[in-house]
């Protein structure tokens, strides 16, 4: 599943046309908001095989990491 920041590509419908590519700017359930390389934006509901993630967002899986406090990292517990 695509996450915000992923570069996606949709194959063309006609022979000889270039595929459409853009960046995911929002995700709501199965809806993806995409800003296309042409500057247009649209909301798409991708079906199986209709959209490919060609470049993942760098450095993250789209989730925030939880960090431990310094004392918890050293195994100390305060009562």
In 3D, which of 34, 60, 30, 58 has the Cα closest to residue 46?
30
Query: What topology does CATH give the domain 1-57?
Result: SH3 type barrels. (2.30.30)
Q: Look at strands 41-44 and 31-36 and give their pairing.
A: antiparallel
| 5 and 16 Cβ atoms separated by less than 8 Å | no
| 43 and 36 Cβ atoms separated by less than 8 Å | no
pLDDT of residue 1: 83
What's the predicted TM-score (pTM) here? 0.69
On the 0-12 / 13-18 / 19+ scale of CB atoms within 10 A, 3 is middle
Write out pLDDT tens, residues 57-73. Answer: 876 554 443 444 444 44
The yes-or-no verdict on residue 54 having pLDDT over 70 is yes
């Amino acid at each position: 599943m695509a996450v915000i920041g992923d570069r996606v590509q949709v194959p063309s419908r006609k022979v000889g046309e270039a595929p459409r590519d853009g960046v995911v700017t929002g995700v709501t359930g199965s809806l993806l908001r995409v800003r296309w390389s042409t500057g247009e934006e649209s909301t798409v509901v991708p079906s199986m095989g209709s959209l490919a993630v060609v470049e993942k967002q760098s450095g993250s899986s789209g989730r925030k990491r939880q960090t431990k406090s310094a004392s918890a990292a050293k195994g100390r517990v305060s009562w």
